[in-house]
Every structure is written in structure tokens, then in C-alpha cells.
Amino acid sequence: MRCTLGVDIGTSSSKGVLVAEDGSILGTATRAHDVDRPRTGWVEMDGRVWWDEFADIARELLDPSTGSGTQGPIEVVAVGVSGMGPCILLTDEHDEPVRPAILYGVDTRSTDQIARMTDELGADEITRIGGSALTSQAGGAKIAWIADEEPEVFARAKRLFMPASWLARKLTGDYVLDHQSASQVSPLYDIENERWHEPWWTRYAGTVEQPPLAWAGDIAGTVTAEAAALTGIPAGTPVIAGTIDAWTEAVSVGAHGVGDLMLMYGTTMFLVATTEQTLRTPSMWTTAGAFAGTRNLAGGMSTSGALTAWLKDLTDADYPQLLAEAEASGPGARGLLMLPYFAGERTPIQDPDARGVIAGLTLRHGRGDLYRAALEATALGVRHNVETMRAAGADIRRIVAVGGGTQGRLWLQIVSDVTGLVQEVPGTTIGASYGAAFLAASAVSADGDPPRIEDWNPVAFRIEPDPGARAGYDELFDRYLRLYAGTAEVVHELAAQQKNP
């Protein structure tokens, strides 16, 4: 049986999937991990864990006794890779990491570098060349932070990787980065010309070797004998370049059409809108797409699943209990309103010093009300992003929902009620690993006969907004915006205190 292997390195776990030619899943494997938070605003991970977990997952899925053995003999024809991002993993000339990888926009340490680079290059010029204003998501600013704060470490840096490109390197020996990931190494990538911007690369990345650029579904190379021995994947198997998980998730559900908004319910919430042209707004991220010539307007919230998990742990309840109590609480959470900025916030407010706020608490409120308020807070954040994207010119007509959060209908319903948008939920919501497997299958398909994601993963059901809930949520959204504006000054003072206890 011919199949493809897809593996995604996420914030809280690595996931792998073995997929047959018709899109059916033959086996899955997961390895949980934690990120490191050595200081407030710092989020890191040892990049060597990415490869170790990939190899472990591959061995499990390809072992007839533990993985796909019940399906009969299998032939892995290609490997797909994906991972969280934009992350900055710098290695030396021997491909040894010089420090832990700095993760995406949840890591907010590069505030000073963002201000300095914006002053040196000019905000308008940064947006013209790179597409986006510099924020905590900007990979180039994180590189500049290492150069400024850890010069001895930076002096040893020779190559730049993200999770997907690191896996491709370890599997094939080839050094490559996809265009989508490169477009988030802001401001070092020229989005209109789809290439590195030489003057700014030299200025801020110094002697780090530029990764050659490819598209996510392009073949990066083939599995080496050494990698084959470690993973069980046959030597010579093609490996794609891969890309950042949110874009691979969008691939997994066919959410790359104009008017589509891919909404990823994960540890953080991520949004990718596909547009006909390059749209620019300082509140969102303008990026290259997963496929050649495509453009996206993207956003990301710093918490979603992380917030609900925090409440679960805090209340010592399980998710079914909390969901049942949240449903009983009803729209508006009996007068509670939450700002979900417990780890700062990315889009659209771009405020790393934002913090969580719970307004309206009384002694009569219970954990179900708090959980309802958290679900509504993330939904209000989604609406804030959607309205910002529309103001920038994006034509958003539907949401395609992916990720672990789609398992609970209540959260989905709240998001549709708050945004007024229909959500389509595909039959397979396993996520980026499935999208990576699809890209790999497409890369090795016979000419003129590529697989279609609509055949692999058709829509299972739709969530329609409740018209009766709209007026109440319109009022709540207005209060949501006013609550942030009214508490920002005090919250920023508290955030400063947290940084300097």
C-alpha cells in the first residue's frame, strides 16, 4: 500500500500521521512536550527535540507491530514536514544549535529591536518591502535580538532554520526554507519579488547563510542513509520543504480560496485569509502563501486553548464538566466579560504588554461562567481580527475550522454567533500533519493526476450562526473593545511590574 508520512512540530506536541493514497488515515502518533519560559515574555524550545520526536514518531508509525501493521505491507512514497512558526533556530557550521530556538509571536523579547529597526529603516519602507510592520511575530527582529544580547552566540551562527526546514535538513542534508516561512522573517524578505532582501539581510543577519528558497510542496531532497537508519524511512524517499503549521492546516482543509478564512483552534488561535492581492495593514501580517504566487493576510491570538487549559487546571475539572456548565451559563456568561490577553496579544492590537482582564465578577459566579467567558473572549478576539482584515480589504465569506478545539460544538457555535459567519468543519481535523502528508502526496503524484483535498477531506458539517444571539454579542463586542481601551494603562503598569519584580 502506497502512503505518505506527515509530521508537524507544534507548540505543545508533535503529531504524525500515515496516510493512504485516497486520504484515509492508517496510523497516528503524538509526542507531548513543553516549551521553556525562562523569563516573562520569553518562549523557547530546544530544537534538537524536534528531530528526536520526529524520528520517534516515524519509527512508531512504520513499525508493523505498533503502527500500520494491521493494514498490511506499506510503501512510504514521500514525507511531509510542518511546524510552528515563525521560529528562529540558529545553528553553527556543524548544524548544532547555538542556543534554544526562539518561538513565534508569543515570545515578545525583541521589543527594543523592533523599535530600533523601525527607526533605522522607516515604518513605511518596512511595510513596502516586507509587507508587514514589525511586531513580536517578526523573525528578523528575533535574529537582531540574538546579535545584540548574545554576541558570542551569534558569532557562531551559520544557518537559519524553522521546525519544518530543520526536519528537512536532518532527513536530506539539504538547506532550504519555504517562501511562506521566509516572508515572516520580517523585514529580511522582499514579498513582491519573492526573495531575500540583500541589504537588510546583510545588516541584521550578518554572516548567517541565506537558506535557498522553495515553495512548501516542492521536494527539498531525499532521505539519506543515516536518516533512514534513525527513522525507518527508506533511503531515497522524497521529502518536501514544508512550511508553518497554520498554512499546512489550511492546506489540510482546502481553505486557500479567495474569501476563505482558515481558523485554527489550538494552543493559540491562528487566522489565515486568502486574498487576490497583497494587502497591507499595520495590525495584521502580510505573508506569502503556501503555493506559488499566493498571498495571505494573517493574524494570531496569543492564547485560546492555552487559556481554557489554564482554567481547567485551576478549577480541577474536566472538559466535559466545564463545557456543560458553560453551556448552562448562557450567552454573556451571566454578566462576565474577559479579555483573553493572558500572554500579551498579537493581532490586531499588537500589544505584548496586554494582560488578561475579567470584568463583572461577583461571589455568585462559578467556574462554568468563567469558562463561558473564556470561550466568548476568544470568539470576540476572532471577530476583532475578522473586522480588521475586512477593513484592510479582505473579502471573508466563510470560516473553515481546524484543530483540536473543533471537537467541542459549543466553542464553534459561540464563534459563529459572535462573528455572524458560517463555519465549515471537515471530516478530518487532525491538522497540519495531515496537510503535510497531502503536500507530500501531491509532490510525487503522476503528472496531471494530483490528489484533491476535497476528495481526501470533505466537509463533515456546518455551524450556522444563531440570528437571535447577534444583538447581544454586538453589545458585548462593543464592551470588549472599550474594556481594553479603559484598562490598558493600568495593565501596562502591572506588566512592567511583572518584568521587574
The pLDDT value given to residue 307 = 94
| Domain residue ranges of the chain, discontinuous segments joined by + | 2-246, 254-428+466-501
265-292 mean pLDDT: 90
The reply to whether 2-246 and 254-428+466-501 are identical in fold is: yes
Residue 501: which pLDDT band, with cuts at 50, 70 and 90?
A: low
Residue 53: which pLDDT band, with cuts at 50, 70 and 90?
A: very high
pLDDT exceeds cutoff 70 at 71: no
315-326 mean pLDDT: 95
Asked if residue 462 lies in contact with residue 101, where contact means CB atoms within 8 angstroms, the answer is no
- b/e string for 475-488 if b means 16 or more Cβ within 10 A? ebbeebeebbeebb
| Topology of the domain covering 2-246 | Nucleotidyltransferase; domain 5 (3.30.420)
Q: What is the pLDDT of residues 450-495, one digit of tens each?
A: 899 999 999 999 999 999 999 999 999 999 999 999 999 999 999 9
The pLDDT value given to residue 268 = 85
Nearest residue to 34 via CA among 63, 55, 10: 10
Kind and range of the H or E element at 149?
helix 139-149
Q: What is the pLDDT of residues 138-192, one digit of tens each?
A: 999 999 999 999 999 999 999 999 999 999 999 999 999 999 999 999 999 999 9
The pLDDT value given to residue 294 = 86
- C-alpha 378/C-alpha 270 separation (Å) is 11
Q: What is the pLDDT of residues 295-319, one digit of tens each?
A: 999 999 999 989 999 999 999 999 9
Which of the pair, 408 or 336, is modelled with greater confidence? 336
Neighbours of 265 (CB within 10 A): 26
pLDDT exceeds cutoff 90 at 256: no
Residue 220: which pLDDT band, with cuts at 50, 70 and 90?
A: very high
Nearest residue to 303 via CA among 387, 366, 383, 377: 377
262-266 mean pLDDT: 89
Residue 69: which pLDDT band, with cuts at 50, 70 and 90?
A: very low
127-136 mean pLDDT: 94
Kindly report the average pLDDT of the chain as a whole number. 94
Residue 427: which pLDDT band, with cuts at 50, 70 and 90?
A: very high
Superfamily of domain 254-428+466-501: ATPase, nucleotide binding domain (3.30.420.40)
pLDDT exceeds cutoff 50 at 14: yes
Dihedral sign of CA atoms 339, 14, 224, 3 in order = negative
